Amino acid sequence: MARFHVIIPAAGSGSRMGADSPKQYLSLNGKSLIQHVVNVFDQSVRINSINIILSQVDAHWRNTHLSLSSKMQVHYCGGETRAATVLNGLNAIQNQVDANDWILVHDAARPGLSNHLLDELLTELESDDVGGLLALPLADTLKRADDTQRVSATLPRNNLWQAQTPQMFRYATLKLALTNFTGTPTDEAEAVEALGLKPKLVTGELRNLKVTHPQDLAVLSALLSTQP
């Protein structure tokens, strides 16, 4: 039976937050963002391993002494891009997984993933031929801007979704997709799409937002405080 393994790429600097440390170490409701992330996977009996991929020069993890889970392994093999970091992570665990095992890639700065939503994702995709990802249907009207930040077009939002994570694919499929992709994919699903496959969209939750800007912390703190 295929097992479930998590890869958390955490080699970025989080420069848009304007903080002194990478954003995964910022505090949210008394815990670092990455603590929230690891905890939800640790609590799932279906998850076999949690693999955190850090930059080789990351000094913050060692200083925080985060022993968060017996399932957890830390790999100092982060790359220049998210895709390179994930691929390096896949190579780092290649002797511990089977080609048919599922890999869940989840953002280190996306701490609002709920246990319920994680379980829904695993159940929805574990028998799927391709795999897929959490995503939200777009609700807002989309505008394309010109070089002066004036509206140049209004875009129809029909059938448009905002991608979230985890993104979940078989080990062999994901490794092939990232190895063969020309350029830099924005996420794992784009690389898999380039193989001619169609990942499945599983409806996510608003609280599963990615912390990118300082105001996101306040929004997420409020959401987590009002939802179980």
DSSP 70-116: TTEEEE----SSHHHHHHHHHHHTTTTS-TTSEEEE--TT-TT--HH
Q: Which CATH code for domain 4-226?
A: 3.90.550.10
Q: What is the mean pLDDT of residues 148-168?
A: 94
Which tokens is 122 given? 């695993």
Question: Where is 44: in which H helix or E strand?
Answer: none
Question: Is 104 exposed, middle or buried (CB count within 10 Å of its CB: 0-12, 13-18, 19+)?
Answer: buried
pLDDT digits (tens, 9 = 90+) for 32-91: 899 999 999 999 999 999 999 999 988 888 776 566 789 999 999 999 999 999 999 999
Q: What is the mean pLDDT of residues 114-131?
A: 97
pTM, two decimal places: 0.92
CA–CA separation, 8 vs 49, rounded Å?
11
Where are the chain's structural domains? Answer: 4-226
